């Protein structure tokens, strides 16, 4: 009877406690890593979705037929309708925000005034041609380049994008891209989707998916 009572009052040994603490530590580390990866994935989703929307805007702009306004003489015919990508200068001031430091480990609120950020361009150039804008705070700097200035050039696995501009038909290719530095350590991630134009067949071929370089930095 006394032996049973002593056994009932027996506590955990130091080894057992150390094993329990070690298991809790491992589970806590896994949980922290999982939460951080989840938060990072939520932020990178912004870039993937926005790059996809920009590329769809470029495709829609190309598929729209444009024709010159003409007064035709009797017995004459008009010039044919044309297809062309939205143009861009390829300069940094076309990016939103214009300074990448504004999204270095923080968010940027795009300006909505005429002539600012996504409210720039014309019917054939830049963001207005793409009919793309973001009114909410953003983690990434967004770019649209046509004919040159591709951010993904040279990165492993990046698609080969046609460069140059055809005098009669406009840019030969385009890139919709986002770059960001979520943790502010100066190492950037790049998300890009591209397209090439075959001016002979008037076909625009867009890459099958978003190219990603250094997703979580």
Distance CA(151)–CA(33), nearest Å, equals 30
Supply 82's token pair.
Answer: 């044309």
Residue 198's nearest CA partner among 167, 162, 144, 160 is 162
pTM: 0.80
Query: What are phi and psi for residue 195, nearest 5 degrees?
Result: -150, 150
Residue 205's beta-bridge partner residues?
196
**Cα–Cα distances in angstroms (integers) from residue 155 to residues 20, 32, 189, 192, in the given order:** 46, 31, 11, 11
Distance CA(117)–CA(112), nearest Å, equals 7
From first to last of its 217 residues, the chain has per-residue pLDDT tens of 455 555 556 667 777 778 888 788 777 776 666 656 666 778 899 999 999 999 999 999 999 866 556 677 787 776 656 789 999 977 766 899 999 999 999 999 999 999 999 999 998 999 999 999 999 999 999 999 999 999 999 999 999 999 999 988 899 999 999 999 999 999 999 999 999 999 888 899 999 999 999 998 8
Query: What are phi and psi for residue 197, nearest 5 degrees?
Result: -105, 130
């Amino acid at each position: 009877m006394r032996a049973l009572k002593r056994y009932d009052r027996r506590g955990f040994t130091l080894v057992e406690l150390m094993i329990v603490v070690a298991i809790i530590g491992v589970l806590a580390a896994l949980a922290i890593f999982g939460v951080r990866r989840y938060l990072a994935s939520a932020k990178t989703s912004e870039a993937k979705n926005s790059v996809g929307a920009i590329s769809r805007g470029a495709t829609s702009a190309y598929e729209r037929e444009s024709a010159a306004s003409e007064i035709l003489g009797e017995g004459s015919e008009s010039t044919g309708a044309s297809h062309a990508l939205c143009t861009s200068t390829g300069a940094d001031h076309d990016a939103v925000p214009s300074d990448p430091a504004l999204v270095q480990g923080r968010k940027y609120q795009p300006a909505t005034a005429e002539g600012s950020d996504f409210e720039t361009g014309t019917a054939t150039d830049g963001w207005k041609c793409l009919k793309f804008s973001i009114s909410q705070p953003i983690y990434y700097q967004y770019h649209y380049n046509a004919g040159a200035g591709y951010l993904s050039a040279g990165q492993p696995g990046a698609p080969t994008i046609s460069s140059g501009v055809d005098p009669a038909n406009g840019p030969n290719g385009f890139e919709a891209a986002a770059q960001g530095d979520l943790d502010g350590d100066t190492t950037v991630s790049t998300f890009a989707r591209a397209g090439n134009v075959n001016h002979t067949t008037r076909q625009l071929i867009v890459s099958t998916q978003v190219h990603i370089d250094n997703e979580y930095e």
